[in-house]
Structure 1
Amino acid sequence: MRRTVLGIVPPILVEAPKRAIKFSANDGYKRLYKDKFELQESRLLNVLTGVSAGMTEALIVASPDLVKIRLQDKRNAGKYLNTTDCVQKIFREEGIMGFTKGLEATLWRHALWNGGYFGSIGVIRSTLPKPTDKQSELINNFVAGTIGGTIGTILNTPFDVVKTRVQNQVAAPFKYNWAVPALGTIMREEGGRALYKGFVPKVLRLGPGGGILLVVYEVVTGYMRKYLM
């Protein structure tokens, strides 16, 4: 229990910026690709902007994720007093580049989740009954976001497993380096099921979380368009 609480500060600090970047970057890339490359609204464009937004998001969250994982790893029990102490020791022992460990796997993780999420919610919305009022529109957004979040989680969980293993490594030689070869190593040694360790609690969090995200985004942007623009 103490290890879980100990590692809660980094994700809390980065949570709000991460969510803001997810949607703002997606909207920004969509405008960019439409203006510069004359791409039309399509499922492919939604996947492309989602992947691009996910990679942007990954640059922000990779280092806080590293600190969180080090704090929560039971093998580090007693090594770190708190978040500040963990950051200082990583810098002292591994240098500034130590905070980039697992960045490539984090890029894969967020690119796949966002690509699956933004690429699917439009399709899911189109299959749902046409909303007749604000409440039914919110319900549709929640359903679409939840299914989209579930799809994203199915796609990215193997790279989440790899990212955790890469970031948990401290002393060389490192068993896991690049994400795709690490996937092969895990499958060869432990089987394909090992790539989905922790999937159930993760999808229970990120599935409905994707629905809540979409609802909040639509409500906030609707309010801003109505009263601030």
Structure 2
Amino acid sequence: MATLPTPPIPTKQPHPWLHFVAGGLGGMCGAIVTSPFDVVKTRLQSDLFRQKHAAVNIMGSGGSMVMSAPRPTNLLYNFVETGYIIRDIYREESFRALFKGLGPTLVGVIPARSINFFTYGNGKRIIANKFNEGQENSYVHLTAAAFAGIVTGTATNPIWVVKTRLQLAQGDRKVLGGSWLCIKKIMREEGVRGFYKGLSASYLGVTEGTIQWVLYEKLKSLSVGTEGQGAVSQWMGMLGSAGSAKLVASLITYPHEVLRTRLRQPSVNGVLKYTGLWQTLRLVIAEEGARSLYGGLSAHLMRVVPNAAVMYSIYEGFIIWGANH
């Protein structure tokens, strides 16, 4: 029976482009598995859909009177609500609607993760060699992660704008056709600048990737460095490190996700409600309260934590394989 390879720190450096391939493959697998949660998260972050899911509507016997009961606000209900929304999307829009935006998501995730892992994996080696006598530490990881986040966000922002617009569109359209129509609509109505909506919030979100990478490296070193562990235990430790790092980073930095989604919303009757990062932050808090900055958090966590575990495990597997061949 085949056994899992023990995941030590590689004794020799893998080929630089292996980071690119490993990151892209890991990101692709994670995105496909968790796509329905991504759709729910985007809709809960947007005020275009918040009202629909904010209350339970009770129709009167004549169908003319509607009563709204406020929904519970505890964290447990938020996870239950995610299940209800997935069910409603399936019933009202079709199974295909649970994968809205998957086309641009994959088109975005593969290069985004490839660029991020490539830039980070090679960046930390270069920074360590140039400035820290070849030794990695938390400062090296932090610098490399911040640089990788800026490069990735700038390169892939247009793809995420298209994905967000598709996920906010109601109805059942074919993914590829919908993506192309969306691209033409943005170009026609907003120009090239329209593809960079939310870029300021993406730069703010670099802090999430930075925190995630630094925590992951620290937790991984503690897990892998534990004596007496078998291969399975060490791999589980690395999976746990990836998921835990993503959980903590997401909880700390989540509001930027909501601000980014609002900035990428389409105009309503030709009017853009959200025009800048700080304007959006002030307006959201004034109209909906600070709690709305965590809209869709449950769906987000249900998506990104297992996504990170899958993505990083595939990435590490490729890196170990490359270092030994």
Using the size of structure 1 for normalisation, the TM-score is 0.86
Amino acid at match of 1:225: A
Partner Cα separation in structure 1 for residue 253 and residue 183 of structure 2: 27
Structure 2 residue aligned with 1:20 = 114
Shift of 1:112: 2.1
Change (3 A) 1:223 1:133: same
Task: Tell me the SS of whatever aligns to 2:254.
Answer: helix
* Structure with greater proportional helix content: 1
Higher mean C-alpha displacement, 9-18 vs 193-202 = 9-18
Whether the 8 Å contact between 2:259 and 2:280 is mirrored in structure 1 is: yes
Change (3 A) 1:183 1:36: farther
Partner Cα separation in structure 1 for residue 171 and residue 126 of structure 2: 44
Equivalent positions of 1:25-174 (< 5 A) are: 25-38=119-132, 41-74=136-169, 82-109=178-205, 111-128=206-223, 130=226, 132-170=229-267, 174=272
Whether the 8 Å contact between 1:159 and 1:179 is mirrored in structure 2 is: no
Partner Cα separation in structure 1 for residue 263 and residue 170 of structure 2: 15
Higher CA-based Rg: 2
Q: Which runs of 4+ in 1 moved over 6 A?
A: 75-78
Shift of 1:100: 1.2
Q: Unaligned 5+ residue runs, structure 1?
A: none
The percentage of aligned residue pairs carrying the same residue is 24
Structure 2 residue aligned with 1:219 = 317
Partner Cα separation in structure 2 for residue 77 and residue 94 of structure 1: 24
Residue by residue over 1:39-94, the C-alpha shift from the partner in whole angstroms, topping out at 9 and shown as x without a partner, is 8522233222222212222123311111111122247999x961111111111111
Change (3 A) 1:173 1:74: closer
Amino acid at match of 2:204: W
Using the size of structure 2 for normalisation, the TM-score is 0.62
Q: 1:9 aligns with which of 96, 99, 103?
A: 103
Whether the 8 Å contact between 1:70 and 1:76 is mirrored in structure 2 is: no
Whether the 8 Å contact between 2:145 and 2:210 is mirrored in structure 1 is: yes
Residue by residue over 1:124-162, the C-alpha shift from the partner in whole angstroms, topping out at 9 and shown as x without a partner, is 235547162322221111000000111221133211101
Whether the 8 Å contact between 2:100 and 2:166 is mirrored in structure 1 is: yes
Amino acid at match of 2:193: M
Partner Cα separation in structure 1 for residue 278 and residue 123 of structure 2: 26
